[in-house]
Amino acid sequence: MTVPTLMQNHQRKTYVTQLHKVYNEAQQAALQYMTDRNAINLKEAGLTSTASAANWVKTYFKVVTDCGTDSTPCFANEYKRLNGASMGDLFASGFNKFVLASGASFAVSGNTNGRVQLYVDTNGPNGPNIIGRDTFPLMLYENAMIDDSNPGLTLTAPLSKEQREELFTTICSAGSSGTYWWGCFGKILNDNWEMTY
């Protein structure tokens, strides 16, 4: 192996390790939220709005910066796809944004069906700011499971391996689905926490 190949493999492992850490922290926080409210799912527990999602983050995570609905300084001003195409500022003004003690940036948006959209930049505003490398959309489902984001496919998790592969093929790796940018996280889940793309 050449030195650049070794460096690239190391970087990929670092990104996945950071993503796995945020994933575990969010998974534990969701389960604790349900337990604390003696609820059978997140909807029953009251995680049904962006305000309740923001309070969930403030209560169950170590937050070092609360950006409110502003992107800076929590996130970078520009993100790119794997193919290099610019996506600009990914984070809508309606999301609440935070920097966690781990250095990861976290944006949340809840809705009435008990799902919470989680946007994660594993190393905050630092580069490379590429979707599928250090930046991922995830979905916290009503049953407190975290899987790939798929607003139109299903309300429950886990997604099937086939659903994840389709999202990866049609959106993440294709890079041609307009403003959609999910699909990379599901591929990592399918490949047992390895970044094989």
pLDDT at residue number 124: 95
pLDDT band at 162 (very low <50, low <70, confident <90, very high): very high
**Looking at the domain assignment, is residue 52 inside a domain?**
yes
Q: Does the structure show a pLDDT above 70 at 176?
A: no
Radius of gyration of the chain (CA): 16
pLDDT digits (tens, 9 = 90+) for 66-81: 999 999 999 999 999 9
Q: Which of 98, 131, 126 is nearest to 25 (CA)?
A: 98
**Looking at the domain assignment, is residue 195 inside a domain?**
no
Q: Is 46 helix (H, G, I), strand (E, B) or coil?
A: coil
Length of the chain: 197
Higher pLDDT, 128 or 3: 128
Q: Does the structure show a pLDDT above 70 at 1?
A: no
pLDDT digits (tens, 9 = 90+) for 98-143: 999 999 999 999 988 889 999 999 999 999 999 999 999 999 999 9
pLDDT band at 177 (very low <50, low <70, confident <90, very high): low
pLDDT at residue number 149: 85
Please give the share of the chain, as a percent, with pLDDT higher than 90. Answer: 76
Tell me how many domains the chain contains.
1
Alpha-carbon gap, residue 12 to 167, rounded angstroms? 20
pLDDT at residue number 173: 87
Query: 68: part of which helix (H) or strand (E)?
Result: strand 63-68
Q: Does the structure show a pLDDT above 90 at 9?
A: no
The residue segments making up the domain with residue 160 are 3-190
**Looking at the domain assignment, is residue 12 inside a domain?**
yes
pLDDT digits (tens, 9 = 90+) for 183-193: 999 999 999 99
Alpha-carbon gap, residue 116 to 103, rounded angstroms? 21
Q: What are 149's two structure tokens?
A: 């984001």
Query: 60: part of which helix (H) or strand (E)?
Result: helix 50-60
Whether the CB-CB separation of 167 and 148 falls below 8 Å is answered with yes
Handedness of CA 53, 100, 167, 145 (dihedral sign): negative
Alpha-carbon gap, residue 190 to 158, rounded angstroms? 11
Q: What are 140's two structure tokens?
A: 């916290």
Q: What are 125's two structure tokens?
A: 């505003």
Which residue intervals of the chain are DSSP H helices? 3-36, 42-45, 50-60, 161-167, 184-190
